[in-house]
Amino acid sequence: MDKLKKAAKYILEQLVSSGADAAQVSVSEGRVEEFNVDAGEFSLIRSVFNSGASMKVIKNMKKGTASVNQLDKEAVDNAVNECMAAAETGVEDSALSIAEKEENGDFVSGELTPDKEKFFDSLIKFTEDVKRLFPEIMLEQVIASYSYGKHVFGNTNGVLFTEEDGSYSVNIMYSAHKDDNVTSFNYIGVDYLDPAQDILETADVKLMLERAVKELDAVPFSGKFTGTAVFSPACLCDFISTITDSFTGDLSLIEGTSPWKDSLGKEVADPSFTLSVIPLSDEIVCGERITADGYKSENYDIIKNGVLESFSLSEYAARKTGLKRAKSTSGCVKVQCGDKTLEEIVKNIDNGILVCRFSGGEPAGNGDFSGVAKNSFLIKDGRIASPLSETMISGNLAQMLKCVNGISSESVNYGTCIMPYAAFDGITVSGAN
């Protein structure tokens, strides 16, 4: 860590001596141990080492940024010059700033030393289990990796943080095959700390593979109805990310396009809905400890019992809008579980769809969205019925949150995102006429 501290100090000194009024720097180094499976067979084993720095300066209320992927003096000096040149041609902006010094700190989390043998054995077991239990499943690609990193953040206000962490992850892309019948691909990503983790029993991996086999019997949906969409935990995680970007993020608040721009302290969702950012939770694997702006990260609620508690703004966006910055820039989010099982929720749905993957463009400014529900199932008369071939769904994100039909008592932890099943009324489902 001393090497990174020295590099950070040197970069800040060079930026100041080059004329910066204020500056910040982030310096890191790490390694990744990676195992790849392609088309069901091992294809790659490698170790990747990385290092680099990113820097920002403010000069005459203009911003300059630069980054470099090595830490030798020549590369760093060139990046410093590039950063200062960018500031000279920047646009004057009174909202520019760097973090004020509060209390500096050093953070360590996760597993700092990999057990590659146990990790590799767990991957072999997974591929063998899939072949044995799910012969129809093709593991299109599996990327299993251990990531270790060291990070130093500093600025000219005296802020200095260090961070060291290590964790395992597996990202699985798969499809089901039988004769000439092939399902749409799907994917699962999970972060965890135990190298001997049984991958098949992690998160909802096994359940999703079981559903993929059922999807071989998918049928096209004919007609159109407005009913209830139940989003799987992974799909809900994607929808939540879209909602926070569109309604509570920097761009939507700066441009004033967010439907929630005047809704702080007001009800924007059903009272059963609570959305929290929880990087410090024990449930999260190596969550953020330092924000991108240079503050200590904290847990906070975006929506609590349906009420909008906070926007997810960077310090720059907060200064630009006159609102408060978010206590974390992390994407480690959790939707609070409800009091009904998935089975109980489905029993109360006459016409609906279980959406396990969604493919669509960015929503409109008012939250209208439309796209294709993939790897999904029709819900009819209180039960999950036939698997569906690709089917269109549409609705409005803001209205959807006010029309919660149920939130499951079960949840799935992906290491960086914890989600239940959530059912929303008012979703239009349409197929071929």
| Helices and strands counted in the chain (H then E) | 9, 21
> What pLDDT sits at residue 186?
92
Say if residues 247 and 260 touch (Cβ distance below 8 Å).
yes
Which ranges in 334-396 belong to alpha helices (H)?
342-347
Average pLDDT of 85-104?
94
Structure tokens at 204: 């909802």
CB 424 within 8 A of CB 357: no
pLDDT at residue 361 in the model: 84
Q: How many Cβ atoms are within 10 Å of 3's Cβ, its own excluded?
A: 13
List where CATH 3.30.2290.10 sits in the chain: 2-216
Supply the DSSP symbol for 39.
T
β-bridge mates for residue 177, sequence order: 182
Unique residue bearing structure tokens 């010094």:
101
pLDDT at 16: 96
User: Is the CATH code 3.30.2290.10 the one for domain 2-216?
Assistant: yes
CB 176 within 8 A of CB 213: yes
Q: Residue range 360-367: average pLDDT?
A: 86
Element containing residue 56 per DSSP (H, E): strand 41-59
pTM, rounded to two decimals: 0.92
**pLDDT class for 432, splitting at 50, 70, 90?**
low
Provide the 10 A C-beta neighbour count for residue 382. Answer: 15
pLDDT for 108 beyond 70: yes
Please write the tens of the pLDDT for every residue from 184-227.
889 999 999 999 999 999 999 999 999 999 999 988 888 889 99
∠ at Cα 340 (422, 299), nearest 5°?
A: 60
| Under 8 Å between Cβ of 35 and 45 | yes
| 397 pLDDT higher than 60 | yes
Cα gap 26→161, rounded to integer Å: 10
Could you tell me the two tokens for 327? 């206590």
- Reported as a pLDDT band with limits 50, 70 and 90, residue 261 is very high
Hey, which residues does 110 pair with through a beta bridge? Answer: 166
pLDDT at residue 433 tops 90: no
Average pLDDT score, the chain: 94
Identify residue 306 by its one-letter amino acid code. Answer: G
pLDDT, average across residues 82-90: 95
Give CA–CA dist 302/349, Å, rounded.
29
287 band by pLDDT with thresholds 50, 70 and 90? very high
Q: What pLDDT is recorded for position 221?
A: 85
